[in-house]
């Protein structure tokens, strides 16, 4: 059993934000007896709008992109069919199952997880709410391009939500299409790239068709979260440096696992997807203090998702994984 648990299961950034961001969060603690100042909320909206290249009026704040996605599903699924990919971001799937009158999931099948765009387009034959996480969680693949998105948005009966939680890792965004596409909304998070998972700051870049219903969705964020997010947006350089470190480390880990004959997929996120033959590998690693995500209930048995941590954490995962791999092969040969 390891002295400290290694958390590679939640796709968190392993690095703390800089001291200025932490100090800003601590400042917020001194105002816990007060509601958030609306002017501070507006400043964060302005910073996010500038960062995203959109108007401030298109930014809607919330306590995490998962809850914002839940709000979208609850509001816009009333008279619409929900169309999603399978697998997708699990909290959104749960919300869709709870609120949808009709839910269609387009299967992404291993080993290639290819999206059949013809099947997708054919499902949009009635008023629909289409939700796609791009890059996809848990496969880590980018499925959308500008031509496909533009083609879908031509149909005014389709409301299209793109979850860009991993935008900073993939570099793929459709935020600039918001001004011309009222039926487009993009959800993002500061949890990942900005090292603020504990602050829970999410936002929607919403087209006008979404703003009509979401305009009353106004929330008072916690003081510490707001102050930290505001400071982070004023000094985003640390985020970019951390992204570079994670991308380089992900490539190193991929090469090492690939060299060891592990079936590991390339991704456009901060995690890797692995297909393994070792039964209950997630459970065995958990027993020794290494947490990874078991995807048996989302894809099929044998698939696991591993977040990229610090180099020393990743090396421990690789070492322990290979120990179990050797043990599995030894027992299989008996």
Is there a single domain that holds both residue 89 and residue 55?
yes
Is there a single domain that holds both residue 102 and residue 155?
yes
pLDDT average, residue stretch 37-62: 96
Q: Which domain holds residue 96?
A: 19-234
**Mean residue pLDDT across the chain:** 95
CATH number at residue 263: 3.90.1150.10
Is there a single domain that holds both residue 166 and residue 202?
yes
Task: Note the pLDDT tens digit of each residue in 88-144.
Answer: 999 999 999 999 999 999 999 999 999 999 999 999 999 999 999 999 999 999 999
Instruction: Give the per-residue pLDDT at 327.
Output: 87
The CA distance from 38 to 52, in Å, is 21
Is there a single domain that holds both residue 49 and residue 198?
yes
pLDDT average, residue stretch 253-268: 97
Q: Compute φ and ψ for 154, nearest 5 degrees.
A: -65, -25
- Residue in this structure with the two tokens 């090492």, named with its chain if needed: 256
Number of domains in the chain: 2
Where among 234, 262, 295 does a domain terminate? 234
Where among 234, 259, 287 does a domain terminate? 234
**Which residue blocks in 190-306 are alpha helix, DSSP H?**
208-214, 223-234, 237-259, 281-288
The CA distance from 293 to 80, in Å, is 32
Cβ atoms within 10 Å, residue 330: 9
Strand order of the sheet with strand 293-294? 263-265, 271-275, 303-307, 293-294
Using pLDDT thresholds of 50, 70 and 90, give the confidence band for residue 83: very high
Cβ atoms within 10 Å, residue 202: 20
Could you tell me what percent of the chain has a pLDDT over 90? 92
pTM of the model: 0.96
Instruction: Give the per-residue pLDDT at 175.
Output: 98
Task: Note the pLDDT tens digit of each residue in 195-222.
Answer: 999 999 999 999 999 998 887 666 789 9
Is there a single domain that holds both residue 128 and residue 199?
yes
pLDDT average, residue stretch 304-313: 98
Instruction: Give the per-residue pLDDT at 269.
Output: 98
Residue 261 placed within a domain: yes
Is there a single domain that holds both residue 112 and residue 219?
yes
Is there a single domain that holds both residue 229 and residue 322?
no
Q: Is the pLDDT of residue 334 over 70?
A: no
Residue 1 placed within a domain: no
Tell me if 189 sits within 8 A of 202, measured CB to CB: yes
Q: Is the pLDDT of residue 329 over 90?
A: no
Is there a single domain that holds both residue 212 and residue 264?
no
Q: Which two tokens stand for residue 84?
A: 């999603």
Instruction: Give the per-residue pLDDT at 220.
Output: 82
Task: Note the pLDDT tens digit of each residue in 145-171.
Answer: 999 999 999 999 999 999 999 999 999
pLDDT average, residue stretch 231-244: 96
The CA distance from 248 to 254, in Å, is 10
Instruction: Give the per-residue pLDDT at 240.
Output: 97
The CA distance from 55 to 177, in Å, is 12
Long-range contacts of residues 185-188, Cβ cutoff 8 Å, at least 24 apart: 185/72, 185/159, 185/160, 185/161, 185/210, 186/161, 186/162, 187/65, 187/68, 187/69, 187/72, 187/161, 187/162, 187/163, 188/52, 188/65, 188/164
**Cα separation values, 8 from 5, 16, 175, 292, 305, Å:** 9, 15, 30, 5, 8
């Amino acid at each position: 059993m390891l002295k400290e648990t290694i958390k590679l299961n939640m796709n968190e950034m392993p690095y703390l934000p800089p001291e200025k961001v932490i100090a800003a969060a601590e400042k917020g603690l001194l105002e816990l007896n007060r509601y958030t100042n609306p002017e501070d909320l507006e400043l964060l909206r302005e910073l996010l709008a500038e960062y995203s290249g959109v108007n401030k009026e298109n930014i809607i704040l919330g306590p995490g992109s998962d809850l914002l996605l839940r709000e979208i599903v609850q509001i816009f699924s009333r008279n619409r069919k929900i169309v999603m990919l399978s697998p997708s971001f699990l909290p959104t799937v749960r919300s869709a199952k709870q609120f949808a009158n009709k839910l269609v999931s387009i299967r992404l099948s291993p080993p290639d997880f290819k999206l059949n765009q013809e099947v997708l387009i054919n499902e949009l034959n009635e008023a629909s709410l289409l939700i796609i996480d791009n890059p996809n969680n848990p496969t880590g693949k980018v499925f959308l391009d500008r031509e496909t998105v533009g083609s879908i948005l031509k149909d005014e009966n389709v409301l299209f939500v793109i979850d860009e939680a991993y935008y900073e890792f993939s570099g793929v965004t459709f935020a600039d299409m918001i001004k011309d596409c009222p039926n487009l909304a993009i959800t993002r998070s500061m949890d990942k790239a900005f090292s603020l998972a504990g602050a829970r700051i999410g936002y929607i870049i919403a087209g006008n068709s979404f703003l009509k219903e979401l305009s009353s969705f106004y929330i008072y964020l916690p003081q510490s979260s707001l102050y930290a997010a505001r400071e982070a947006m004023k000094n985003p350089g640390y985020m970019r440096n951390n992204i570079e470190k994670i991308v380089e480390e992900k490539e190193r880990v991929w090469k090492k696992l690939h060299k060891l004959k592990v079936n590991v997929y390339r991704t456009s996120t901060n995690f890797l997807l692995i297909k393994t033959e070792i039964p209950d590998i997630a459970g065995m690693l958990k027993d020794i203090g290494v947490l990874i995500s078991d995807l048996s209930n989302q894809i099929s048995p044998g698939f696991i998702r591993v977040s990229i941590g610090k180099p020393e954490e990743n090396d421990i995962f690789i070492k322990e994984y290979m120990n179990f791999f050797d043990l599995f092969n030894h027992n299989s040969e008996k």
